[in-house]
Amino acid sequence: MFTSTVSPDPQPGASTVPAAPSWNRQKPSGMPSHRYRPAHDRVEIPLTDTQREWPSRRLTTAPLWVPVDLRDGNQALAEPMDPARKRQFFKLMVSMGYTEIEVGYPSASQTDFDFVRLIADSGGTTTPLAPDDVTIVVFTPARRDLIERTVESISGIRNPVVIHLYTATAPTWRDTVLGKSRDELVELILSGASDVLELAGHLPHVRFEFSPEVFNLTEPDYVLDLCNRITELWDARPERPVILNLPATVEIASPNVYADQIEYMHRNLARRESVILSVHPHNDRGTGVACAELAVLAGAQRVEGCIFGNGERTGNVDIATLALNLHAQGVDPMIDFSRLDEIKRTVEECTRLPIHPRHPYVGELVYTAFSGTHQDAIKKGFAEHTGRAAETGVEESELEWRVPYLPIDPADVGRNYDAVIRVNSQSGKGGIAYLLQAEYGLELSRERQIEFAGHVQRRTDATGAELSAAQLYELYVGVYAVGPA
Ligand SMILES: CC(=O)SCCNC(=O)CCNC(=O)[C@H](O)C(C)(C)COP(=O)(O)OP(=O)(O)OC[C@H]1O[C@@H](n2cnc3c(N)ncnc32)[C@H](O)[C@@H]1OP(=O)(O)O
Ligand SMILES: CC(C)C(=O)C(=O)O
């Protein structure tokens, strides 16, 4: 029934390993890498060099972000969120500006069901949990009893709703998990889609979403045909578009492969103008963010992820990183991350998982320099920024940002400059001078900076520890026998 319409990947010599050059003396690791097959041998890659357009496109607007922390992130916690934490998290997301939020898997647990009911029952009261314009997404497998329960959960709700149906489509899942042939699986999914239509199709504010789970390992022509059947069955129209969400459920390949897969769907889907093309990357290879960015270049319009990348295994794609990557390119992220520390605290409280200190944009150390040459550059960059603001009469907070080593102004996300420079044995005169100037108003001559840096270096080498601004000042007063400023 399904015939291949796509060309094999043309990359010449993609599977051959060139002989190592003489300067590369690495030895074979002895690890059993032969047990794993490259992505190109596991799934057909649908585009060729002459077809793909995503490499020359640019990101100029934000896609629709849909946080799935309350479903996909929640299912990955040892202790799923209780109602109070779910509520707190939901309110946070609304306050940040999300307009479409996946709130749970109502057929999975009473807590998930009750949370959707809480949203439904509070609608129209003086204290609605969800403002009327926030779309609520509920998730269900393709099983009639579970679809019925899902539809029951949204009964009477005033908000726009998306019923999100999913079933895995990749060969290993078909064979090992679901025990279905290709045709049998299509039948199961279309039967689930018909149930959704029968039970909720008459509700005017309800739309539908389908996810072929493990899309990235599924035969391109098979999944394309399946998606087209769904949009036909659900009668996708511009005024009632269907969301087709194409997950990289378990990452298997470098992001260019996912981009090819998404662009193939983008170009070949029927009713394209009535389809919202969505992606749902995970992060098994650590390339979830890159996958999402290239997928948007390839035609995706909507991205599902978790605010700071929580989720099963290595997590879902990290929306904060994606959004702030756009911000750093001059594109409005359309979500407000200006109170980043408050958002971080709430998410940590709700998930009971700490955020890594090096997490892009969010971690407590990501706007901090310990090393001398970086500190020197930042100090000069701050001075240039202040000088340019005075010269041009433009507010510092509005002025083009050019400070070296700081991809964005920490103030944009509510951070101050207190921890930007910290001194230890890796530091140099510039960083030391910056701290003494910023904290104590001491302006040191270049000669004094060089000389005092020697004292600091001896102290930090001896102790191995960091020196705070107060400790630096104390040392300075001791060395130069000056009274407190
Ligand atoms: C990639 C993702 O994150 S997908 C979301 C995963 N999230 C969750 O699983 C959290 C919520 N899940 C649950 O609470 C439960 O698994 C339930 C309520 C959905 C089902 O529970 P149970 O009936 O006890 O089934 P159980 O979990 O053991 O197994 C799943 C069954 O559904 C089948 N199944 C799995 N996914 C789907 C699907 N999307 N559509 C239809 N059937 C499915 C499996 O093949 C298996 O069938 P079998 O019992 O005939 O072998
Ligand atoms: C089914 C989809 C939405 C998903 O959660 C996944 O593939 O990870």
Asked if residue 60 has pLDDT above 80, the reply is: yes
C-alpha closest to that of 422 among 409, 432, 414: 432
C-alpha closest to that of 77 among 353, 294, 286: 353
Atom nearest to 312 CA in ligand 2: 8
- CA–CA separation, 134 vs 257, rounded Å? 33
The letter for the amino acid at 389 is A
> Which residue is closest in CA terms to ligand 1's atom 7?
75
Asked if residue 485 has pLDDT above 70, the reply is: no
Question: Could you tell me the end-to-end alpha-carbon distance of the chain, in angstroms, rounded to an integer?
Answer: 84
> Which residue is closest in CA terms to ligand 2's atom 7?
249
3-state secondary structure of 319: helix
Q: What CATH topology corresponds to 42-351?
A: TIM Barrel (3.20.20)
Structure tokens that stand for 177 in this block: 């998990």
> Which residue is closest in CA terms to ligand 1's atom 43?
141
> Which residue is closest in CA terms to ligand 1's atom 33?
178
- CA–CA separation, 411 vs 373, rounded Å? 22
Ligand 1, pocket-test mutation among 69, 75, 190, 304, most atoms within 8 A of CB: 75
C-alpha closest to that of 423 among 458, 472, 383, 358: 472
ipTM: 0.95
Q: How far is CA 102 from CA 58, 98, 255, in A?
A: 28, 10, 25
Interval between CA 248 and ligand 1 midpoint (Å): 18
Atom nearest to 213 CA in ligand 1: 1
Give me the pLDDT at residue 16, please: 57
Ligand with smallest separation from the Cα of 111: 1
Give me the pLDDT at residue 130, please: 98
Backbone φ and ψ of 209, nearest 5°: -135, 140
CATH of 372-480, picked from 3.40.50.720, 1.10.287.1400, 1.10.760.10, 1.10.3720.10, is 1.10.287.1400
**Selected residue with higher pLDDT from 397 and 14:** 397
Q: How far is CA 349 from CA 43, 85, 198, 345, in A?
A: 40, 8, 40, 6
Q: What is the mean pLDDT of residues 469-480?
A: 97
The alpha-carbon radius of gyration of the chain (Å, integer) is: 27
The letter for the amino acid at 408 is I
Mean pLDDT rounded to a whole number for the chain: 95
Give me the pLDDT at residue 49, please: 84
Give me the pLDDT at residue 6, please: 46
Ligand 1-lining residues (CB < 6 angstroms): 72, 75, 105, 107-108, 141-143, 146, 166-167, 177-178, 213, 249
Q: Edge-to-edge, what's the strand order for the sheet holding 302-305? A: 64-67, 302-305, 275-281, 242-248, 206-213, 161-168, 135-141, 100-104
pLDDT in tens, 275-293: 999 999 999 999 999 999 9
Asked if residue 457 has pLDDT above 90, the reply is: yes
Q: Which of 6-15, 51-60, 85-94, 237-246 is predicted with the least confidence, judged by mean pLDDT? A: 6-15
> Which residue is closest in CA terms to ligand 2's atom 6?
249
Q: Which of 10-14, 76-80, 212-216, 388-392 is predicted with the least confidence, judged by mean pLDDT? A: 10-14
Interval between CA 71 and ligand 1 midpoint (Å): 14
- CA–CA separation, 215 vs 390, rounded Å? 54
174 secondary structure, DSSP code: I
pLDDT in tens, 373-432: 999 999 999 999 999 999 999 999 999 999 999 999 999 999 999 899 999 999 999 999
- CA–CA separation, 21 vs 10, rounded Å? 25
Ligand 2, pocket-test mutation among 280, 291, 304, 313, most atoms within 8 A of CB: 280
What number of CA atoms fall less than 13 Å from residue 42's CA on the CB side?
17
In sequence order, which residues have a C-beta less than 8 Å from that of residue 213 and are 6 or more positions away? 166, 167, 168, 169, 170, 173, 247, 249
Interval between CA 141 and ligand 1 midpoint (Å): 7
Give me the pLDDT at residue 48, please: 86
Atom nearest to 105 CA in ligand 1: 11
Banded model confidence at residue 18, pLDDT cuts 50, 70, 90: confident
Atom nearest to 178 CA in ligand 1: 45
Atom nearest to 245 CA in ligand 2: 3
Interval between CA 279 and ligand 2 midpoint (Å): 9
Domain residue limits, the chain: 42-351, 372-480
The answer to whether the beta carbons of residues 431 and 379 sit under 8 Å apart is yes
Banded model confidence at residue 17, pLDDT cuts 50, 70, 90: low
The share of the chain scoring above pLDDT 70, in percent, equals 96
Ligand 2-lining residues (CB < 6 angstroms): 72, 166, 211, 213, 245, 247, 249, 280, 282
- CA–CA separation, 402 vs 411, rounded Å? 14
pLDDT in tens, 434-447: 999 999 999 999 99
Asked if residue 238 has pLDDT above 80, the reply is: yes
Q: What is the mean pLDDT of residues 188-204?
A: 97
Q: What is the mean pLDDT of residues 341-356?
A: 98
> Which residue is closest in CA terms to ligand 1's atom 24?
108
Q: What is the mean pLDDT of residues 353-374?
A: 97
Interval between CA 193 and ligand 2 midpoint (Å): 17
The answer to whether the beta carbons of residues 207 and 242 sit under 8 Å apart is yes
Q: What is the mean pLDDT of residues 257-268?
A: 98
pLDDT in tens, 107-152: 999 999 999 999 999 998 999 999 999 999 999 999 999 999 999 9
Give me the pLDDT at residue 481, please: 84
- CA–CA separation, 228 vs 360, rounded Å? 38
Q: At what angle do helices 182-200 and 144-153 cross, to 10 degrees?
A: 30
The length of the chain in residues reads 485
Give me the pLDDT at residue 484, please: 59
> Which residue is closest in CA terms to ligand 2's atom 1?
213
3-state secondary structure of 295: helix
The share of the chain scoring above pLDDT 90, in percent, equals 93
> Which residue is closest in CA terms to ligand 2's atom 8?
249
> Which residue is closest in CA terms to ligand 1's atom 39?
167
Q: Cβ-count burial of 27 within 10 angstroms (0-12 exposed, 13-18 middle, 19+ buried)?
A: exposed
Structure tokens that stand for 162 in this block: 């998306």
Atom nearest to 316 CA in ligand 2: 8
Ligand with smallest separation from the Cα of 141: 1
User: In degrees, to the nearest 5, what angle opens at C-alpha 250 toward C-alphas 51 and 187?
Assistant: 80
Asked if residue 308 has pLDDT above 50, the reply is: yes
**Selected residue with higher pLDDT from 485 and 203:** 203
Q: What is the mean pLDDT of residues 290-312?
A: 98
Hunting for tokens 């709430």 — which residue is that? 346
